[in-house]
Structure 1
Amino acid sequence: MADIAASAPAAPGAAPGAAPRRSRRIPTGVTIALVWLLAMLAIAALADVVAPYAMTKMDLRARLAAPGTWAHWLGTDELGRDVLSRLIFSIRISLAIAFGATVISAVLGTALGFLAAHFRGLVEQAVLMLADFQASMPFLIMALAVLAFFGSSLPLLIMLMGFFGWERYARIARGLAIAAQAQGYAAAIRQLGARPSRLYFAHILPNIASTLIVSMTLVFPEIILLESGLSFLGLGVQPPMTSLGNMVGYGREYLTSAPWIMLAPASTIVLTTLSVSVVGDYLRDRLDPTLR
């Protein structure tokens, strides 16, 4: 059997005795998802340039115009506003909220996870108790209460969304930081006199960054859906600004007479969250050493 295995022909182009390697080719589905996300980012950045009309421009003579005309590719809403233009600006607002909230959540959770890993004891227990409390509380109900009491504004909405999902980063950062401290490089850096901040942020954080990035890709679509739900209920983005959830909320009243008002932003929400999830799953498979 050993002779047969030794005499088996090697794969074309492979060096003799070389171990099989995983294909570096990006799957077609992931490529499509990346193209979609890049297109969304480009639209958000160039909204003022690519939008054919202003976000609030009304044409009462073209109220509820059906899609397919040169003047209004995606039709108009109940006030004669161009659906395509409002969709473009809605993508900008929704992505800005999602990116800002994801960054805030990741920074807050990672910092608390590092504090728990460094001090241990009572500090660690307090952080874990806060994480359990956050995970057990229905965040949508808490967000509704806060926005109903303080009123809705874009900075407040981004800060509030930033408290969503921080417990995931805290648990991941704490566990990986404790594991890193048990390894030789962290102990050697500490013995050289490095400050704790330098140890965690200059040495431990780069080693766990891939796991945190994958977690961000998983939280990002959830924040988009959460913001869409709040805007749908009327407590998210307020006029004259618009978001994807805001457009869906206004379009539900015309679902039977003018379905394009709601279908355009709803389809964008579905495709964007699906694309982020597909890219996140691909990154997890590529960056997780246990799956190699």
Structure 2
Amino acid sequence: MTRALQSLRMVFFPADGKGIPVGVFVIIVAFMVLVAGLAPLLAPVDPNTQNLMGRLKPPGTVARGTLFVLGSDELGRDLLSRLMYGARVSLSVAFLSVLLSGLVGTVLGMVAGYKRGWVETVIMRVVDIFLSIPAILLAIITVAVLGPGFVNVILVLALTRWPRYARVAYGQTLSVANMPYVRLSTAMGASWVRILALHIFPNIIAALSVVATLEFGLMVLFEAGLSFLGLGVQPPTASWGAMLSVGRNYVSNAWWIATFPGICLFLLVLSVNLIGDRLSDYLNPKSR
């Protein structure tokens, strides 16, 4: 346990002291996850409670006994509470879509890289077809067909991003499949499912973890983009993208509605991307 903690400290808090330690961004992400998980306990008021006498109040204003720490929106709803609940939506959609797309893409990529032949041809040509279509365009079209909603957004994002994992898993499997221990397991009669699960997957999980980290930030942006267009989680559920969409109409007289969700999105995506870059450098011996 102590050795694992020391390894994590070396990865995210390097001793060279150059620049901002990536661990700072790990703390930012952890803080957002904590706030999202404890939103029902931390939120000052219900995020959907309207206070028409407190519409478009700037940060620090008190209206009808409610303190709007970060201001209120066009319906008098507390912006801080909606930011907390919006974090739950963004993080949940990103995590579940990364998990689902990673599972599907990894399995198909490993099967294609190990089985080869017609299986490889079919899977990788399907991957090429999906990669030839702009991801956001495919997501918009699919959501328009299936309809908006929390579950549908997760399915759509997983559908558009699984080829990325399939590509990485395929390439990594090709490099591992010819290793002596894999050939020995095959000669001893081990099934291909057992070989993939016990011998190949543990050796490619590092590369897949980097992809998943970078994809997480992208999923946050995709969810916000779909919500911004009205194709994501539907009102009155709080969502950072939907808050940005509303806030653009009030930039001149209520800048806080769009500014604070934008800052949260910026910090989350920046932090996740920097963490992914640091993991990539650490797990790639050639970059050390």
TM-score by length of 1: 0.89
How far apart are the structure 2 equivalents of 1:38 and 1:25?
Answer: 13
Asked if the contact 1:254–1:261 (Cα under 8 Å) also holds between the matched residues in 2, the reply is yes
Gaps of 5+ in 1: 1-22
Cα shift at 1:267 = 0.6
Hey, what's the Cα distance between the residues in 2 that align with 1:67 and 1:25? 35
The 1-side partners of 2:145 and 2:60 are apart by 43
- Identify the residue that residue 43 of structure 1 maps to in structure 2: 35
Secondary structure of 1:165 counterpart: helix
Greater shift, 66-75 or 106-115, is seen at 66-75
Flag structure 2 segments of 5+ consecutive residues without an equivalent: 1-9, 15-19
CA–CA distance in structure 1, aligned partners of residues 144 and 133 of structure 2: 18
Is the 8 Å Cα contact of residues 12 and 23 (structure 2) preserved in structure 1? no
How much has 1:26 moved relative to structure 2?
A: 1.3
Q: Distance in 2 between matches of 1:121 and 1:193?
A: 20
SS at match of 2:68: coil
Q: Aligned partners of 1:193, 1:55: CA distance in 2, in Å?
A: 59
CA contact (8 A) 2:97 2:158 kept: yes
CA 1:159–1:205 in 2, change beyond 3 Å: closer, same or farther?
same
C-alpha change, 1:141 and 1:123, in structure 2 (3 Å) is same
What is the aligned length?
Answer: 270
Whichever residue aligns with residue 26 of structure 1, its letter is F
Which string of whole-angstrom CA distances, capped at 9 and with x for unpartnered residues, describes residues 118-168 of structure 1? 221121111111111111102222222222233212111101111232222
Residue 258 of structure 1 corresponds to 254
User: 2:126 — aligned with what?
Assistant: 130
- Name the counterpart of 2:179: 183
* CA displacement 1:236-264 (0-9 Å, x = unmatched): 11012121111111111111110100111
Mapping 1:232-243, distance limit 5 Å: 232-243=228-239
Identify which of 119, 141, 148 aligns with 1:145: 141
Deviation at 1:25, TM superposition (A): 6.7
Letter in 1 for 2:195: L
Q: Does 1:77 align with 2:64?
A: no
Residues 1:53 and 2:40 are matched in the alignment: no
Decide whether the 8 Å contact of 2:50 with 2:76 is kept in 1.
Answer: yes
Whole-angstrom CA distance in 2 between matches of 1:283 and 1:139: 25
Separation in 2, partners of 1:163, 1:149: 13
Question: Please, which of 22, 26, 33 is the counterpart of residue 13 of structure 2?
Answer: 26
Deviations 1:40-81 (A, max 9, x none): 110111110011111101111111110024711100001110
> What does 1:1-292 correspond to in 2, within 5 Å?
26-27=13-14, 28-69=20-61, 71-292=67-288
Structure number, greater radius of gyration: 1
CA RMSD of aligned residues (A): 1.4
User: CA offset at residue 24 of structure 1?
Assistant: 5.8
The amino acid that maps onto 2:30 is L
Judged with a 3 Å threshold, the aligned counterparts in structure 2 of structure 1 residues 24 and 258 are, in CA distance, closer, same or farther, namely closer
Counterpart amino acid of 1:112? L
Counterpart contact for 2:143–2:231, Cα < 8 Å: yes
Query: CA shift at 1:268, angstroms?
Result: 0.4
Distance 1:64 1:25 in 2: 41
* TM-score after normalising by structure 2: 0.90
Amino acid at match of 2:161: G
The answer to whether the 8 A contact 1:251-1:262 is kept is: yes
Paired with 1:84 and 1:232, the residues of 2 have a C-alpha distance of 19
Alpha-carbon shift at residue 187 of structure 1 (Å): 1.0
